[in-house]
Structure 1
Amino acid sequence: MHPNPAIFTPLILAALAFFAWSLYRRLGLVTLGRPGYSFRGIGEGLREMFLYAFVQKRVLRQGFGFNHLIIFWAFIVLVVINAEFVASGIFPAARLAVLPDFFYVPIRFLSDVMSALTLVAIVLALVRRTIFPPYPEARTFESYLILCLIGVHMIAFFGVSAAEIAMGRERAAAFMPVASFLGNLLSGLSDKHIEATFNFYWWLHAAALIAFITVLIPFTKHLHVFTAIVNCFLRREEKPNTQEPEVFEKGRIFGAGQVDRLGWKDLFDSFACTKCGRCQNVCPAGATGKPLNPRQVINDIRLNLLANGPLLKRGGAATVPLIGEEGEGSVCEEAIWSCTSCGACMEACPVFIEHLPKLVEMRRHLVEMEAKFPEELLNLFENMEQRSNPWGIAPGERTKWTSLLEVKPFEKGATEYLFYVGCAGSFDSRSKQVTVNVATILDAAGISWGILGKDEKCCGDSLRRLGNEYVFDRMARENVALFRERGVTKVITQCPHCFTTLKNDYRQYGIELEVIHHSELIQQLLDAGRLKLNRQVSELGKIILHDSCYLGRHNDVYEAPRQVVTKVTGAAPAEFDRAREESFCCGAGGGRMWMEEQTGTRINLNRVTEALSKNPDTICVACPYCMTMFEDGLKDKQAGQTKVRDIAEVVAEAMRPAR
C-alpha cells in the first residue's frame, strides 16, 4: 500500500540537500557583517526564546496574534509529522505506530486537532489579508502562496489519515475526531478507491513538503520560522538605546555606506524579518507621509545583501548601492533622515529587529564620509563644535535663568547631585521656566545640588542620533573628563535626551553615572515625604499625559510621571489612545528638532490632534522637546484654550500656598 521508497528517497534527499545548500549560501552571507554584539547569554537567551518565539508574547499584543500562534504551533507539530512522513517514505516500517499507546495516541490526537485548527486559522488569515490587510502592501503572491501551501499540507494530512482509518489501519482512530469523520465518509468506497485516495494524498503531502523545503523556506519570508527563533535567542542584553562607538583613526571607514559595513547581527535581522508590518504601522514618519518604512528598510538590506553578498565574498565590488534612489535594495536618503529615533518600530517588532541603529549607521556614512546631510544641520553642527549648544549662544548665557534664584556651583565632595540643566533648559525661554521650577522643587526638598554653569556642555544627543559621531565623541570625552574632575557621580536631568545620553551612551566612555530624571526624583521625594504639597491642583482642569519616547520606550520610565500627577491633582491623568509603549512621537527626536518637515504632514500635528480628541485642558509633558512640539502644534491648530505644562510646573503649582 505504501508508495515506492525507490522514487521518494532520491527526491527527498535531493530536496534536503538543496535546502541545506540554500541555507548555507544565504545565511553564510551574514559573516560579511562587522563583528561585535552582546546578548544576554545562553540561559537568558533560552528564556527570551521561549517567551517571545514559542509563547509569542509580543505577537499576542494584537488580537489577531492568536491566529499566528496557532499556525506557528501547527508548524511545530508538523515537524514531528513530517519527520515520520520522511522516515516512513524511505523506510516503510519506520512509523510512529511502533510506539506504545501512551505516546502514540496523544501524538495522533494532537496532530488531528492542530491540523483542524490550522485550517481554520489559514482561512481566517486569507480573509484578513484580503479584506483587512495588516498594511497596504501585504497582498502579495508570496503571502498567499505560503498560506495556501500550509493549507494543502493540512488537507493532505487529513486525506492520508482518513484513508488509513477507512482501511482499519489506524489504531488511534477513536482519538482523531476530524480524520475519523472523513474516514467514515470514505468507508463506503472500495478498497481500491481508498488505496488510490491514500496514494493521491500521500504524494500531495510529499509535493507540499518538497515545495516547502526547496522553495518556501529558503527563498521567501518563511525562512523566519527558523531565523526569528534564533533572533529571539540573540536578543540584546540591554535596550538598543545607544549606538556602537567609532574608533577615529586615519584611513578608517565610518558608518555604513555598503552592506558589509553593517554588523553581522544587522544582516541576520534582515533574514529574521517576518514582514508583519507592525513596525510600519507605528512609525510616526510613515504615518505622516514621509518615505520612511522600517519594514522596507530591513527588506532593502536583505535584498542588497543577496545582490552584493556573493560579489563581496569573492573580493569584488558591490553593484547595488545601500544608500540611493535605485529602488528595491537601496534606502533613499530622505527615508534615512526622516527617522525620529522614537524606537516605536523596535518596541513593536515581535522578533527584536533593531531598525534604528542601522539607520544611524547610514547617517554616519552620509555625514562623516560624504558630508551629505540636510542643509539645516550645517548651522547645528557648527554651533555644536564652536559653542557646544544647538543655538550657538555664548556659554556665559547658560546661567541667566538663575537671576532670581540663589544657585550654587557644584562642589567636589560637598554637593551630592549635579543638576545637569541641558541646552534647552539653559537657553530656550519656555524651558527656562521649567528649570526654575525644578530648582525650586530641589530646594524645597532639601536636596544638595549644584550646577556647572558656563562650564556645562551639550550632552551631544542630537549629534549622535544624526550620525555626527566625530563631534559627539569629542564632546562626550570632554564631558566625562569634566565630570571626573568635579567628582560628579549623581546627576539630575529635566530632559529625557540628556537623561538617556548621560545614563547609557556615556558608559561607553568609562563612567557610570547615577542619572535620574526629574519626574522620577519628584516621585521619590513625594513618596518619602520630603516634598510637601500645600494643595491639590484643580485649576489645570483635565490633564492628559504624554509619554516621551526617550523617557518611556528607551528607558522604561512610565509610572513616575503618572504617580506624580495623581498625587498632585488627586486624579489619574487621562491617557492618549497611543500611550506608554505605544506612545506616538512628538516629532523632535533623532535630531528632527532642528530640521523642517518638507514631506507629508507634521508629526506634532498628528499627536496634537490625538490629544485634542480627548478634550484636555492641559497636556502634561516631561521633555523640553515635547513641550516645544506640542505648543507649536496647538498654535497651528488654534487651540489656545489647551495649555502645555511640564510635570515640574504642575508640582510647583501644588507647592504654592492655598488661596
Structure 2
Amino acid sequence: ALRLAAEQPAHAVWSPVGNFIAQVFYSGMSKEQLEAQHLWVWIFHGLISLAFVALIPATYFSHMYKSPTSIYWQRTKPRGLLEKIDDIEEQESFGISKFGQFSWHDRLNFDACVECGRCTSVCPVNRAGGPLDPREIILSLKKRMEEGYSKSEDILVPDVVSKEALLSCTTCGACVEQCPSRIEIVNTIAQMRRSVGMEEGQFAEGVAKTLQNIQSVGNPWGLDPDERFAWAKDLDIPFAEPGVHYDILYWVGCSASYDKRNQKIARAMIKILRASGLSFAVMAEEMCNAEYARRVGEEYLFQIQTQMNIENLRQYTFSRILAHCPHCFNTLKNDYPEFERGQFNVISHVQFIAEQMDAGRIKASLSEKERIAVHDACYYARYNQIINAPRFDLNKVEGLETVNPKEWGCNTTCCGAGGGQFWTDTDASERLNVIRLKAIVDTTGCDKVATSCPFCLSMFDSAKSQDKSLSEISIADVAEIIAKNLK
C-alpha cells in the first residue's frame, strides 16, 4: 500500500486491497514520508522473516523440512514389511529393547512427527478404549531422543512405552496411512514386540499357546494336521504332484482348513476354480505360514515355518499361487521374497475372480436385486492396495449393487483380528468387531455385508452374537457370493 501510494503506477488497480489501503489511509502523505515509512516497514518485515527462518529448527515449524525429509527417505519396500533377522540362531539380541538400537531412519521418523494426532484418531484400539495411543508412543520416543539416552542403561518397555500398548496393536496400518510424515509406527511397534516376545518370552494372553500349536502340529488351533483337508473329502480336489504343471496352486490357509464357517470359503473357491477351466491343485504339505507369529514378535518360529513352506512349494511346478486370506497373501507375496528361493507369483482370490469374470470365463446373476455393503480387509486394501477388485467382482453379478461404508478402501477400519489379536482377549470397553460392523450397517443401511478375509468374517460373525442389534445381519465372503450365484 505504501509503495502504491508513493509511486501511483497504472497497474495499481490490479492490487485491489493494497490500492484501497493506499487511497484511504495514505492519500494525504507526501512522497518522502511514504518512502521513509516504506523503508522502515520493509526492514521490520525483513527482520521478522529472518528471525522466523532462524527459529524454525527450534520450534514446531521444523516440520516444514523434517516431514519432507522423512517422506523422501521412506522405504520403497512393501508397506509393513518387517526386516528379516539374518542368521537368527547366532544373534544375542532380538528386536529393539533400548533406544540406542534404533536406526538413523527410525530417529528421523520420530523427529518428523508433527503431533497432529491423526494416527490416534483412526486407531481402532484407541477408539475402543484400549491402551494403544500411536501418537503418544512416537512422542515418548521423540522425547527420549531429545533428552539423551544411554545405550547400555535405557530400557524402552515399560519405562518409555507400556507393554499393554505394544501388545494391543492390530498392525492394521491405519496410523501409517493417515500420518502426514509417513512415520512407520507399526514397524516401530513390531520391532519392540520382537524384544518383548523373543527376549522376555512375554505375549498377550492366549498367544503363547497358539504359537506352541503352530510349532507342534503346524496350525494355530492345535488340531490334527492329517485333517487339514477333511473339508474337501467329497470334492475330489487334486493334490499337487512333482513334475506336473498347474496353472494355480491354491493356498487354503489354516482358517479355511479348520474353522467350520470359513471352510465354506474354500469350498466356494474350488467351485470357482473348476468353473474357470484352469488346472489347479492344493499342496498336501501345506502348513501355517505363521504370519501372526511374526506380527506378535516371534520371528524365529516364522522363519522356521517359512523355510519349510518354501521347501515344500519348490517341489511343484505352477504358474501362480492363489490365496483367499489377505494375511496369507501378504506373507507369500511380500515376506517370502526376503528368503532364498521365496519368490513366487501370488494372486489374491478377489483379483483372480475379477480376472476370470473380466475374461468371461465365469458369470453370476441374482434372481432379485440386492444391495450389499463392502468391508475392506486391512491387509488387502492398505497393505496391498487391493480395493477395486472385490467391488468389480460383486458389481459383475447381475442384480447386485455394492455400497461403501463411510470408512472404506485405504481408510477402512480394522475388524480387530490382525497382529495376533484374533487369539487374545481384549479389555477394551467395546470390542472392535462390534464397532466396525455397527459402523458399516449404520452408514450404508444394508443388512448384507461382503468381506474378503476369513478373519474379518469370523470377527463379524462373533459381533452378531455379542450385540443383539446385529443378529440379523448377513455376512459372506466375496467368493461365497460369486460361487452361490454362478450361472
Q: Relative to total residues, which structure has the larger helix share, 1 or 2? A: 1
Tell me the equivalent position of 1:506: 336
Distance 1:366 1:170 in 2: 71
Q: Does the C-alpha gap of structure 1 residues 251 and 446 become closer, same or farther in structure 2, counting only changes over 3 Å? A: closer
For residues 388 and 394 of structure 2, what CA distance do their matches in structure 1 show? 10
One of 166, 173, 182 as aligned partner of 1:343: 173
Opposite residue 369 of structure 1, the aligned amino acid is E
Report the 3-state secondary structure (helix = DSSP H, G, I; strand = E; otherwise coil) of the residue aligned with 1:401: helix
Distance, in Å, in 2 between the alignment partners of 1:230 and 1:172 is: 41
Once the 2 structures are TM-superposed, how far is the Cα of residue 350 of structure 1 from its aligned partner?
2.7
Would you say the 8 A contact 2:205–2:425 is kept in 1? no
CA-CA distance at 1:451 after TM superposition: 1.4
Determine if contact 1:257/1:365 at 8 Å carries over to the other structure: yes
Percent identity, aligned pairs only, is: 31
1:420 aligns with 2:251: yes
* Highest RCO, 1 vs 2 (Cα 8 Å, sep ≥ 6): 2
Secondary structure (helix, strand or coil) at the match of 2:391 reads helix
- Look up the SS of the partner of 1:502 in the other structure: helix
The answer (yes or no) to whether the contact 2:371–2:400 under 8 Å persists in 1 is no
Matched, 1:600 2:429: yes
Instruction: Write the distance in 1 (CA, Å) between the matches of 2:83 and 2:139.
Output: 22
Task: Give the letter for the 2:138 counterpart.
Answer: I
Structure 2: distance between partners of 1:206 and 1:334: 51
Larger radius of gyration: 1
What is the identity, as a one-letter code, of the residue corresponding to 1:431? N
Which residue, 568, 582, 588 being the options, matches 2:397?
568
Deviation at 1:522, TM superposition (A): 1.4
Q: Evaluate the alpha carbon distance shift between residue 537 and residue 404 of structure 1 in structure 2; reply closer, same or farther with a 3 A threshold.
A: farther
Tell me the distance in 2 between the aligned counterparts of 1:472 and 1:369.
Answer: 16
Q: 73, 87, 94: which one pairs with 1:234? A: 73
Cα distance in 2, alignment partners of residues 501 and 249 from structure 1: 22
Q: CA deviation at 1:225?
A: 0.5
Amino acid across the alignment from 1:598? D
Alignment partner of 1:403 is 2:233: yes
What amino acid is aligned across from residue 274 of structure 1 in structure 2?
A: V
Match of 2:49 in 1: 209
Of the three residues 319, 322, 325, the one matched with 1:495 is: 325
1:372-413 deviation digits (Å, cap 9, x = unpaired): 222221101111211121111121110111121101211233
- Separation of aligned partners in 2, 1:251 and 1:462: 22
Q: Counterparts of 1:566 and 1:292 in 2: how far apart (Å)?
A: 37
Partners of 1:231 and 1:537 lie apart in 2 by 53
Cα deviation 1:148-198 (Å, max 9, x = unaligned): xxxxxxxxxxxxxx4444454999866544344434413435778757755
Distance 2:310 2:399 in 1: 41
Quick check: 1:323 aligned with 2:323? no
Return 230-239 or 198-207, whichever deviates more.
Answer: 198-207
Hey, what does 2:278 align to over in structure 1? 447
Which amino acid counterpart does residue 371 of structure 1 have in structure 2? G
Q: Residue in 2 aligned with 1:286?
A: 126
Which residues of 2 match residues 85-234 of structure 1 at below 5 A? 162-168=1-7, 176-184=15-23, 185-189=25-29, 197-198=37-38, 201-202=41-42, 204-206=44-46, 208-215=48-55, 217-234=56-73
* Separation (CA, whole Å) in 2 of partners of 1:466 and 1:569: 42
Query: 2:205 matched to 1:375?
Result: yes
Whole-angstrom CA distance in 2 between matches of 1:268 and 1:173: 47
Q: Shift in Å at residue 364 of structure 1?
A: 0.6
**C-alpha spacing 1:306/1:195, structure 2 compared with 1 (3 Å):** same
Q: Cα–Cα, structure 1 residues 240 and 188, in superposed 2: closer, same or farther, change >3 Å?
A: same
Looking at structure 1, the residues matched to 405 and 446 of structure 2 have their Cα atoms a distance apart, in angstroms, of 10
CA distance in 2, matches of 1:303, 1:488: 52
2:441 paired residue number: 612
* 1:200, distance to aligned residue in structure 2 (A): 6.0
Q: Is the 8 A contact 1:562 1:572 kept in 2?
A: no
- How far is the alpha carbon of 1:555 from its aligned partner? 0.8
* 1:479-558 equivalence runs, <5 A: 479-510=309-340, 511-533=342-364, 535-536=365-366, 538=368, 541-558=370-387
CA shift digits 1:284-311 (9 cap, x unpaired)? 11222223222222222221211225x5
Q: Which residue of 2 aligns with 1:588?
A: 417
Counterpart check, 1:257 vs 2:97: yes
Looking at structure 1, the residues matched to 162 and 36 of structure 2 have their Cα atoms a distance apart, in angstroms, of: 56
Q: Deviations over 1:556-597 (max 9, x none)?
A: 111111111112243331111111111111111111111111
Query: Residue type matched to 2:339 in 1?
Result: Y
Q: Would the aligned equivalents of 1:167 and 1:187 in 2 still touch at CA under 8 Å? A: no
Distance across 2 between alignment mates of 1:616 and 1:163: 63
Distance in 1 of aligned mates of 2:249 and 2:99: 42
The normalised TM-score by structure 1 is 0.69
| 1:523-558 Cα distance to aligned partner (Å, 9 max, x none) | 21122122244x42538x431111111111111111
Tell me the number of residue pairs that the alignment of Structure 1 and Structure 2 aligns.
481
Is the strand fraction higher in 1 or 2?
Answer: 2
- Higher mean displacement: 230-239 or 266-275: 230-239
Matched, 1:655 2:486: yes
Structure 1: how far apart are the matches of 2:475 and 2:128? Answer: 23
Is 2:297 aligned against 1:297?
no
TM-score between both structures, scaled by the size of structure 2? 0.91
Q: What's the RMSD between the two structures over aligned residues?
A: 2.5
What are structure 1's unaligned runs of at least 5 residues? Answer: 1-161
